[in-house]
């Protein structure tokens, strides 16, 4: 899509505190999932949204064909 000045990227979120994700999970499950991330927490939807907002902005104009993990990083 470069000839149209359109970049194409993918955002790969990790566990995120949404109603769908939290349904059916115990506190123990959530603590275990949080412990996998370097920051010892589950993402808030805003954590993911900030990356998407960056990617659609002018500052990310030279980023293309990337799969970006938004997962708190491995421990």
pLDDT digits (tens, 9 = 90+) for 49-66: 999 999 999 999 999 999
pLDDT over 70, % of the chain: 99
**Residues whose CB is less than 8 angstroms from the CB of residue 59 and which lie 6 or more positions away in sequence, other chains included:** none
Q: Model-level pTM greater than 0.75?
A: yes
Q: What is the mean pLDDT of residues 12-21?
A: 96
How far is it, in rounded angstroms, from Cα 61 to Cα 55?
A: 8
pLDDT for the residue 75: 62
User: 33 pLDDT exceeds 80?
Assistant: yes
pLDDT for the residue 55: 97
**Residues whose CB is less than 8 angstroms from the CB of residue 30 and which lie 6 or more positions away in sequence, other chains included:** 22, 42
Cα-Cα-Cα-Cα torsion 21, 27, 33, 38, nearest 10 degrees, comes to 120
User: 1 pLDDT exceeds 90?
Assistant: no
């Amino acid at each position: 899509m470069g000839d149209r000045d359109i970049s194409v990227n993918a955002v790969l979120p990790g566990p995120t505190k949404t109603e769908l994700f939290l349904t059916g999970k115990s506190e123990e499950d959530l603590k275990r999932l949080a412990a996998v991330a370097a920051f010892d927490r589950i993402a808030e939807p805003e954590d993911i949204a900030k990356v998407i907002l960056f990617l659609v902005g002018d500052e990310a104009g030279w980023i293309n064909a990337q799969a970006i993990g938004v997962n708190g990083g491995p421990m």
